Amino acid sequence: MNKCYFSGTMKAIRLLCFCSMILAVLVQPVSSSSCLASIAPQLRKDCHPDPGAFEASCLARNCCWSPLKTLEIPWCFEKVDLCSVVPDSERIDCHPDPGANEEACVSRGCQWCASDNTTAPFCFYNSREEATCSTRYPIQKRIDCHPHPGASQEGCETKGCFWCPTTIANVPWCFYPADGPYGYVMKDAPQKTALGWRLTLIKRDSISLFGNDISPVVMDVEFHTEDRLRFKVYDPNNKRFEVPLDIESSSNLSLDPNYDVEFVDNTVLQFKVMRKQTRTVLWETTFGGLIFSNQYIQMMTSVPSTSVYGFGEHEHPSFKHDMNFVRYGMFSRDQSPTAFSNLYGVHPFYMCIENDFNAHGVLLLNSNAQDVTLSPFPSLTFRTIGGILDFYMFLGPTPENVIQQYTEAIGRPYIPPYWSLGFQLSRWGYNSLDVLKKTVERLKQYDIPHDVQYGDIDQMEHHLDFTYDKASFAGLPEYIKELKNDGIHYVIILDPFVTKDEPLGTYKPYELGEDLGIWINNSDGFTPAIGKAWPPGDSVYPDYTNPQTAEWLTQMCIEYKNTIDFDGIWINMNEPANFLNGQQSGCEENNLNYPPYVPDITGGLLAERTLCPNSKTFLGYHYDTHSLFGWSQAKLTFYACQNATGNRAFVLSCSTFAGSGKYTGHWLGDNFSRWKDMHMSIIGMLEFNLFGIPYVGADICGFNEETTYELCLRWMQLGAFYPFSRNHNAIGNKEQDPGAFGEEFATISRSALRIRYLLLPYLYTLFYQSHVSGSTVVRGLMHEFTSDPETQDIDRAFLWGPALMITPVLEEGARSVSVYFPEASWFDFYTGGQVSPSWQKKSVEVPAPLDIIPLFIRGGYILPTQLPARTTELSRMNPFSLIIALDERGEASGSLFWDDGDSIDSVEKDEYFYVEYQFSNRALNATVVKNGYRGIASLVYGTVQILGFTSKPNVIFVNGDTVPASRIQYHSNGKITLWISAPLFQDLSISFEN
């Protein structure tokens, strides 16, 4: 809830409320449904002139509430019927082009009033001034010249910008003129460099938006690969912070890139990137102008379509972004997911699908607080308050190509341990070992798959890292060994804060860290920055950019492993979080702590719930490195975990940055037990696959608030298809593990999880492909059916790889789900029957009773499977099977990656098995490509299913031997099932002959 503190005059109240209300200003329409959404400001009659106006009190007076980006106009005003106020003769047509209707009219910010006078426009501007203004300055082209609160006409015009009020939500009133004073021009002709071009730019006018402008600046344009372009703008005379992520360029100087670049030096420098084959303009800085000052850097570009995805981490209602002046702040923050707010991670990366269905992506490699505005031109405006502009463009041309090229640059995702693909259980609030034991035991009684158990902070002693509560959890070390004997792995939690106030000689993590000097320091660079968090007393924060911290973390993990036999590490609250706003002593009044411009971040304060920006890390000021805390911690934790366990690391991080997927997975934060959060989790999962972090999922059944039977059951079905599948909830809430709701719930949950375990070989192979080629694991339908525009908006269904479509129920009480089937052969997972070809390129209502999540296999693909079991330790010993779904040509292909599931760098050491499957001409051939895993010798194929077989064969041969009729089953829906026994490590051939 937005909070306001009231005192003084009405104007003062509005000012005090402004900061906490600004998010609402940007995203909320008029609250009362009977109010006109487009009442001109000059027609507003104040309905609450007395002090204390806020939304509830306004609506209680039966008035309209609509905050604006100015404090001089009433936010609470009387209802006005413009149909009667504005006579027909004074109406100025807002929709002179054909096709006017009420929806289109209101979307333009105009008023719709039908009239008996057919010569009068039904769609008209709210005022003559607005008509003149909107005609001269089209709304869709406006670039905000006053992105911070408190815009006024005088202040706007002083900045050399235009002022034009409008009633359309979020549209800038103060905006840059096309020929305005901002921007840079080339000082000299571009200079050729080893990798491309270098331009020296000088500022063209003395007007400054926030002061301390830098001139000259240099722009380097580098041709990295045929499909990757870098353009970097920086101060040549002063070193500024740059993200220490090494992205190598090609050494091939004879590149034939798939892009062209163009520089035009008119009134301002215009930089353009075009796709060579189609001449589509991917990046063009035609208007708005570059701004490069010490603490405010801005660049605007047009984009070739409105199909834009990415930018994170945020929660928003659709995978495809709304381009109507939506602004996203990016600055890592510890808070439960809230619509449009900056959340735990920072990912300044987007992908755009062009109008001809090619795709490209762009990364701004900058870790400072920043925001981006998406405008309907369409265009993007990037603003950051530090560092440099360091853009990387990836040419695709398919969405999968874009992500492969992106992860090639920032680092390929790691392959998680096989056991971490199993079902995981956690809770903040077991509160005792007895409760934990009872929870685990009931899952075992219901035979529910269970591979991983977590310990949250309630298992610590006084919330101290590297401890456990020897009273409430007495016997925990011994119990963990019991779990491991039963095939269940254990994950510990580590928070980023270390208490400094334990008695001397009793808490080694602090004393060793003090000896090594690893803490984040105050601005003096010597005294540790002190905050408060869960542990008693004051806390200090390890600086994970300091090389000495690796020694500290590794030693503590190895020593703790001797007490608690953990297998993985969950790093939480690493934004980093703080229960204070800044240090205990507060933040000094300076431009680092209180910069002239604060991006559109929650609270509007850089130090909110974290450390002061002028704190010092090994790499520099926290002002620059704040959003890199989780990224730097993940890398060190990855190696510490490997050193402690001797096995492949499992790291799960709350805060992430570009490149984090090389070392960690991510869960989507402290979500809520609400139906909409299920939908949001799909969007988040799709986005993090774009960000190169495919091991991702949400807390199943929700973390905050109480869940319900149906919500939790449907979420267990959806969560069975998260790459990271964990049920987790908060202290004080009722139990929500799949054994807590009784036998029916447990049976349905077990069924969904067994499907997951059946498909784990396919999922594991997808992670291998992600690791070696950068492919997504979970992907939107648009990745596979890019030329079908219907798929660009789909975010209530998703794919595992190219072959399996998951269509969960996301609405309470629903017993069917609307499924869009792109143009392909599709097969029902449960029956193997082919979906009617008449359903292709249509949305069809598919039955989804309470015990079913609809699943469909795409023709043309072969899925390796394995009989499920209660743990992956057991399932990995079971026979393999193949599901072969034929396309319209009677063909299919697939592959299987396999190793021991737990060793370090098995791919890099060639200690793995890989086989490719091809079905064509009524025959399957399995060809072993790599046979480097010794354990493969004990594994066999047990079952082969072929879906979509058009005619029954007379005889079937396996490796030349006839299959007895007793080992063949023909189904009326075109499915054939074979029972065979053939070693996995050898080539396999199966032929079907008439």
Q: How far apart are CA 325 and CA 380, in angstroms?
A: 9
Contact between residue 721 and residue 800 where contact means Cβ atoms under 8 Å apart: yes
Q: Examine the pLDDT at 264 and tell me if it is beyond 50.
A: yes
- Torsional sign, CA 287, 290, 291, 296: positive
Same domain for 134 and 196, yes or no, is no
Same domain for 377 and 519, yes or no, is no
**pTM score, whole prediction:** 0.90
Task: Give pLDDT tens digits for 700-711.
Answer: 999 999 999 999
Task: Give pLDDT tens digits for 572-595.
Answer: 999 999 999 999 999 999 999 999
Question: What confidence tier does 81 reach under pLDDT thresholds 50, 70, 90?
Answer: low
Domain of 162 in residue numbering reads as 130-177
Average pLDDT on 691-708 reads 98
The per-residue pLDDT for 248 is: 87
Q: Please give the backbone phi and psi of residue 623, each rounded to the nearest 5 degrees, phi first.
A: -55, -35
Among 807, 782, 778, 803, residue whose Cα is nearest residue 697: 778
Among 630, 618, 626, 627, residue whose Cα is nearest residue 521: 618
The per-residue pLDDT for 42 is: 59
Same domain for 518 and 621, yes or no, is yes
Contact between residue 827 and residue 948 where contact means Cβ atoms under 8 Å apart: yes
Task: Give pLDDT tens digits for 412-465.
Answer: 999 999 999 999 999 999 999 999 999 999 999 999 999 999 999 999 999 999
Same domain for 167 and 199, yes or no, is no
Which CATH number is 143's domain given?
Answer: 4.10.110.10
Average pLDDT on 660-677 reads 98
Contact between residue 682 and residue 796 where contact means Cβ atoms under 8 Å apart: yes
Same domain for 290 and 263, yes or no, is yes
Question: What confidence tier does 74 reach under pLDDT thresholds 50, 70, 90?
Answer: confident
Q: Examine the pLDDT at 30 and tell me if it is beyond 60.
A: no
Q: Does residue 299 form part of some domain? A: yes
Q: How far apart are CA 112 and CA 38, in angstroms?
A: 10
Provide the percentage of residues in the chain whose pLDDT is more than 90.
80
The per-residue b/e assignment along 506-540, b for 16 or more CB within 10 angstroms, e otherwise, is ebbbbebbeeeebbbbbbeeeebbbbbbbbeebbb
Q: Looking at the DSSP assignment, which residues form a beta bridge with residue 373?
A: 327, 381
Average pLDDT on 32-58 reads 67
Q: How far apart are CA 740 and CA 227, in angstroms?
A: 52
Question: What confidence tier does 91 reach under pLDDT thresholds 50, 70, 90?
Answer: confident
Compute, in degrees rounded to 10, the torsion defined by CA atoms 320, 326, 331, 336: -70
Same domain for 204 and 170, yes or no, is no
Same domain for 190 and 160, yes or no, is no
Question: What confidence tier does 254 reach under pLDDT thresholds 50, 70, 90?
Answer: low
Q: Does residue 587 form part of some domain? A: yes
Q: How far apart are CA 633 and CA 626, in angstroms?
A: 12
Domain boundary residue, one of 384, 410, 436: 410
Q: Does residue 241 form part of some domain? A: yes
Question: What confidence tier does 17 reach under pLDDT thresholds 50, 70, 90?
Answer: very low
Q: Looking at the DSSP assignment, which residues form a beta bridge with residue 620?
A: 617
User: Among the listed ranges 14-28, 190-204, 333-347, 869-883, which one has the minimum average pLDDT value?
Assistant: 14-28
Q: Does residue 421 form part of some domain? A: no
Q: Does residue 821 form part of some domain? A: no
Angle between helices 399-410 and 675-690 (to 10 degrees): 70
Contact between residue 730 and residue 670 where contact means Cβ atoms under 8 Å apart: yes
* Residue scoring higher pLDDT (989 or 132): 989
Q: Does residue 17 form part of some domain? A: no
Domain boundary residue, one of 410, 445, 478: 410
Same domain for 323 and 386, yes or no, is yes
Question: What confidence tier does 2 reach under pLDDT thresholds 50, 70, 90?
Answer: very low
The enclosing H or E element of 327 equals: strand 326-330
Q: How far apart are CA 581 and CA 605, in angstroms?
A: 9
Question: What confidence tier does 89 reach under pLDDT thresholds 50, 70, 90?
Answer: confident
- Greatest extent of the chain over all pairs of C-alpha atoms, in Å: 93
Provide the percentage of residues in the chain whose pLDDT is more than 70.
93
Question: What confidence tier does 120 reach under pLDDT thresholds 50, 70, 90?
Answer: confident
Question: What confidence tier does 215 reach under pLDDT thresholds 50, 70, 90?
Answer: very high
The per-residue pLDDT for 19 is: 38
The per-residue pLDDT for 253 is: 62
Q: How far apart are CA 853 and CA 43, in angstroms?
A: 53
Q: How far apart are CA 273 and CA 395, in angstroms?
A: 10
Same domain for 392 and 285, yes or no, is yes
Q: Does residue 853 form part of some domain? A: no
Question: What confidence tier does 80 reach under pLDDT thresholds 50, 70, 90?
Answer: low
Q: Does residue 471 form part of some domain? A: no
Q: Looking at the 3D structure of the chain, how many domains does it have?
A: 3
The per-residue pLDDT for 53 is: 74
Domain boundary residue, one of 353, 388, 410: 410
The per-residue pLDDT for 635 is: 99
Which CATH number is 543's domain given?
Answer: 3.20.20.80
Same domain for 205 and 318, yes or no, is yes
Task: Give pLDDT tens digits for 187-201.
Answer: 999 999 999 999 999
Q: How far apart are CA 568 and CA 555, in angstroms?
A: 15
Q: Examine the pLDDT at 504 and tell me if it is beyond 50.
A: yes
Per the listing, tokens 């774009």 go with 690
Contact between residue 966 and residue 975 where contact means Cβ atoms under 8 Å apart: no
Same domain for 304 and 165, yes or no, is no
Contact between residue 735 and residue 439 where contact means Cβ atoms under 8 Å apart: yes
Which CATH number is 366's domain given?
Answer: 2.60.40.1760
The per-residue pLDDT for 15 is: 35
Contact between residue 319 and residue 687 where contact means Cβ atoms under 8 Å apart: yes
Same domain for 165 and 190, yes or no, is no
The per-residue pLDDT for 56 is: 77
Q: Examine the pLDDT at 799 and tell me if it is beyond 60.
A: yes
In the DSSP assignment, the letter for residue 808 is: -
CA angle 556, 561, 565 (to 5 degrees): 155
